[in-house]
Amino acid sequence: MAKEEKKSRRAVIVRGVRTPFVRAFGELTKLDSIALGGAAVKGLLAKVGIPYKEIDGIVWGGVILPSAAPNIAREIALDLQLGAEVEGMTVTRACASGLQAITLAAAAIERGEADVLIAGGSDSTSNAELKMPQKVVHTLAPLALGKPTPGDILGALAQLAPFTDIFPKTPKIAERTTGEVMGESAERMAKRNEITREAQDAFALASHKRAAKAIADGLFDDEIVPVLTPDRGEIRADGLVRADTSMEKLAKLRPVFAKDGTLTAGNSSALTDGASAVLLMSEEKAKSLGLTPLAAFSSWSYVGVDPSDQLLIGPAIAVPRALAKAGLELKDVDFVDLHEAFAAQVLSVTKAYASAAFARARLGRDTAVGEVDPEKLNVYGGSLALGHPFGATGARMVTTMSNLLARSGKRTAVLGICAAGGLGAAAVLERV
Amino acid sequence: MNDFLLEIGKNPQARKMLGALGLPLPIPEPLTRDTGPYSDLALRDVNVAVVAAPGHTLGGEIARALVGAGANPFLADPESLGHVFREPSEAYGRPARALSSLGEKEKLGAVVFDASGISTIKDLRALYDALAPLVGRVKKSGRIVVLAREPGQEHPEVDAARAAIEGFVRSVSKEVGGKGATANLVRVAKGAEKRLAPVLRFFLSPRSAFVSGQPIVVNATAKELSEPPLVRPFEGKLVLVTGAARGIGASTAKAFARDGAHVLLVDRPDDAKELSQLARELGGTPVLVDVTADEASRTLIDAIKARSPEGRLDVIVHNAGITRDKTLARMKAEQWDQVLAVNLEAVVRLTRDLEPLLRENGRILGLSSVAGIAGNMGQTAYAATKAGVIGFVRAQSKRLADRGITVNAVAPGFIETRMTAAIPFAIREGARRLSALGQGGQPVDVAEALVFLASPGAQGVTGQVLRVCGGALVGA
């Protein structure tokens, strides 16, 4: 019954776009997460050209949310003057936030809550806010909020003495529960899963080469929308892909997370600014508007693992779960797209897929999920080459895979994303 | 109650200074404890050396226990043990590496020695060969666990060799106690191999901080239990603790509640205030009744029925106990009677009345004492009751084995409580220091032992007395 209902109302992906992805503190520094999101949504609507009144709302994903206006989705709708009726919500699920926004939108459409939704995500590491220590906030807030006498001010100063720990701390990507920086977790995963430096560098190299080729072949032209900046003019191209990198160049880089480590700037994803947006609607709506859908979700899955164990191994569990829900085996899918936080993390995950022991202990199945065919994996590169604006990555992957399915005429793609907090996300896309 | 030497021991500068002065004071090493809830990764990132005597049989269980708990295994002889680690290592990303790959200076969190292959006097040499180079590398609050087979039913030389291992382990515990490390012996009966892993976990974890120099047997006596849960082991379970208002009883109630149990906290009406407050804090149920009262059983059964519709109970902890220390000649008959009534008669009677309500795989736990094992000046009545508890659990364990119920006792040594704080200084100091760890234990150490014995993972431990005494000099 439920299944039939689902069949009768399916959410489809009509179009996806993204801004160029550039290194943090680069060309997009002047645009915050809201402005970047606005640029992506504006570009998306320009490409599709549907009347604004058809849009029910925006679902947005972000990781570093602007504290003065954390509901990015609504701010985008208001900034672009899409109409007061276009509502908005913003979700956060670490690096899976973009995918989370899209699957939420799909669920809302399939449930009949909405007909047309824009979903996606953005992040601007360049605009991460410096946080005042709580000690300072708690001491100074009464002064700022009340009518302090000189005595109060002196008293507050006395409380802050001897003036240690009163300066804002540099934000870093550290796990709240373990205090470990994400690269350190990935470094430990490399050691535990015996992923060599060479294997990581080779994987990173392939990511750059594939991304560079996709750019050269014009395969991203349809999905990248230019962004107008106040200080650098119009930004049209990705900034991180290195067509000319080589094993020799990568081998020269020093480990960054441990002295005797294997993770370098070359085989780790960079802090990136960018946004990506996807247009979803019910199948009937697409038909009535005369739009050709690209793809739809067969399934998705979100999981959690112990962050103190292997922080980024989540996709090793989420992907098999999503595949099982879709009634598929890994060998059945045409494309595998794994978010590349670190080469070591992707290789740890694919090693787990290939392990029968892992499948028995962690997935309750007798056989390995399967070897991932390198020809199907991250065919246009991934976050190592393109960069990783946290909230945007999931939407970037959905966009690229939907386009690839439509263009190639193949049937299915599976997406896997690891995220802070020990989260794992996966989704199966099918061509419509 | 404050242990002056232990406080000094916590300060590295003071430690150094006293060392430099050359005072003959053995400064005890503060123990590392884990008082959080049970977790999947009880041994997360602990480097564990695994060594085995030829003819070893427990490698697979050791591999499963270590890797599943998040330890990093280092094998003294990868050729002989590597294959048993392959599957779990791959599944959990904990490759078993050669011990030689770990720098000579690198300390070890634990050493596990599989001595199950030892059956002749000559074989005993393996103990020396394996552990002589490793004892010095065990770090502060580290662990040494030797696994062996039980003596009995075989050739006298086999028994001699296997019994010898116990003397060896007890002595090792004295050698490593100065750094807060422990050494224990786990004997695995034939057919009980599958029950070893959770027991090994306990003895390697910080939860066994004050258990040292002890032998324990993992047997197949109690009916089997499939897949014991390692996290929140008491979820949905009803646990009754007598004497729960303070000290060891309060610690025990807290530990059970922490791991998911609903606790019925039982104590005398005089302690209503403390008991109710603790019960509220733990979300448990206070039951005010004197365990020696005529209506005690009735009151407890009513409390159980009020909480559980089917009137079923999972764990009974007989913790209530009193002392009336007097030499035999000076002791009054009433004093003798009081001690016997609380410490032993109530245990027997309450077990008789409540045992029918115990669920399958239930647990009965008694509190013995090192005094009950070794005897103590001025404690004739007390020691009699505490030795009596041992006899009681041994007999009950056999009787209830078919229902999967295990029955054990914990025998605390010197524990820092209100009761021991009242002991005269000189005697108290003696009791603290005459142990491998050179300090008193905390109530939580006894609580952790009780929680462990009550946990589903301890299905292989029944009819036994686990001493929580820091390797006290006294007692067999």
Residue A414, domain CATH: 3.40.47.10
Q: Looking at residue B470, what is its pLDDT?
A: 95
A362 in B contact zone (CB under 8 Å): yes
A369 in B contact zone (CB under 8 Å): no
Asked if residue A256 is part of any domain, the answer here is: no
Parent domain of A367: 182-218+295-431
Q: What does the pLDDT look like over B86-141, one tens digit per residue?
A: 999 999 999 999 999 998 889 999 999 999 999 999 999 999 999 999 999 999 99
Asked if residue A28 is part of any domain, the answer here is: no
Nearest-angstrom CA–CA distance, A404 and B180: 62
Interface confidence: ipTM more than 0.90: no
**B41 with A309: Cβ contact below 8 A:** yes
| B218 closest CA partner among B469, B401, B458 | B458
Spatial contact of B48 and B108, defined as CB atoms under 8 Å apart: yes
Pairing of strands A116-124, A272-282: antiparallel
Query: 10-residue block means of pLDDT along chain A (432 residues)?
Result: 59 98 96 98 96 97 95 98 97 97 98 97 91 78 78 80 70 83 96 97 98 97 96 96 97 95 96 97 97 98 97 98 98 98 98 98 96 97 98 98 97 98 98 95
Spatial contact of B411 and B467, defined as CB atoms under 8 Å apart: yes
Helix, strand and coil content of chain A, in percent to the nearest 5, comes to 40, 20, 40
A309 in B contact zone (CB under 8 Å): yes
Nearest-angstrom CA–CA distance, A24 and A30: 10
- The SS3 of residue A127 is helix
Q: Report how many domains make up chain A.
A: 1
Contacts of B93 in chain A (CB under 8 A): 189, 192-193, 310, 313, 348, 352
Catalytic residue among B38, B92, B128, B382: B382
Q: Looking at residue A2, what is its pLDDT?
A: 46
Q: Looking at residue A188, what is its pLDDT?
A: 96
Nearest-angstrom CA–CA distance, B123 and B158: 10
A357 in B contact zone (CB under 8 Å): yes
**B93 with A313: Cβ contact below 8 A:** yes
Nearest-angstrom CA–CA distance, B63 and B275: 43
Q: What does the pLDDT look like over B268-297, one tens digit per residue?
A: 999 999 999 999 999 999 999 999 999 999
- Which residue in B41, B86, B94 is closest to A192 by CB distance? B94
H or E segment and range at residue B272: helix B272-282
Which portions of chain B are predicted below pLDDT 70?
A: 1, 15-25, 153, 475-476
Model pTM? 0.90
Is B40-218 CATH 3.30.530.20?
A: no
Nearest-angstrom CA–CA distance, B304 and B354: 10
Q: Which amino acid is it at B316?
A: I
Positive or negative, the CA dihedral B151, B152, B153, B155 is positive
Token pair belonging to A291? 């739009």
Q: Is B382 assigned a catalytic role? A: yes
Where does A217-314 have alpha helices with state H?
247-252, 283-288
Mean pLDDT of chain B: 93
B94 in A contact zone (CB under 8 Å): yes
Closest approach of B18 to chain A, Cα-based (Å): 33
- Which residue in A306, A308, A355 is closest to B90 by CB distance? A355
Distances (CA, A) of B191 to B51, B219, B352, B460: 22, 8, 30, 10
Q: Is A418 assigned a catalytic role? A: yes
Distances (CA, A) of A285 to A9, A14, A46, A116, A280: 10, 11, 19, 8, 10
Contacts of A81 (CB under 8 A, 6+ apart): none
**At CB < 8 A and 24+ separation, what contacts does B324-332 make?**
B324/B381, B324/B382, B325/B378, B325/B379, B325/B382, B326/B378, B327/B377, B327/B378, B327/B380, B328/B380, B331/B380, B331/B381
Spatial contact of A320 and A361, defined as CB atoms under 8 Å apart: no
Nearest-angstrom CA–CA distance, A339 and A310: 16
Contacts of B89 in chain A (CB under 8 A): 357
Closest approach of A192 to chain B, Cα-based (Å): 5
**A362 with B91: Cβ contact below 8 A:** yes
Contacts of A194 in chain B (CB under 8 A): 95
Q: Is A208 assigned a catalytic role? A: no
Q: Looking at residue A3, what is its pLDDT?
A: 46
**B88 with A361: Cβ contact below 8 A:** yes
Backbone φ and ψ for A176, nearest 5 degrees, come out as -65, -40
Pairing of strands A11-18, A22-23: unpaired
Contacts of A352 in chain B (CB under 8 A): 93
| B189 closest CA partner among B474, B467, B464, B473 | B464
Domain boundaries defined on chain B: 1-27, 40-218, 238-468
Peptide linkage before A162 cis (omega within 30 of 0): yes
Closest approach of A345 to chain B, Cα-based (Å): 12
- Which residue in A194, A308, A313 is closest to B44 by CB distance? A308
Instruction: Please state at what angle helix B346-354 crosses helix B380-400, rounded to 10 degrees.
Output: 20
Closest approach of B13 to chain A, Cα-based (Å): 25
Closest approach of B92 to chain A, Cα-based (Å): 7
Token pair belonging to B421? 């704080």
Q: Which CATH class is domain B238-468?
A: alpha beta
**B70 with A361: Cβ contact below 8 A:** no
Spatial contact of A307 and A377, defined as CB atoms under 8 Å apart: no
Q: Looking at residue B256, what is its pLDDT?
A: 98
CB atoms within 10 A of CB A213: 15
Nearest-angstrom CA–CA distance, A59 and B383: 71
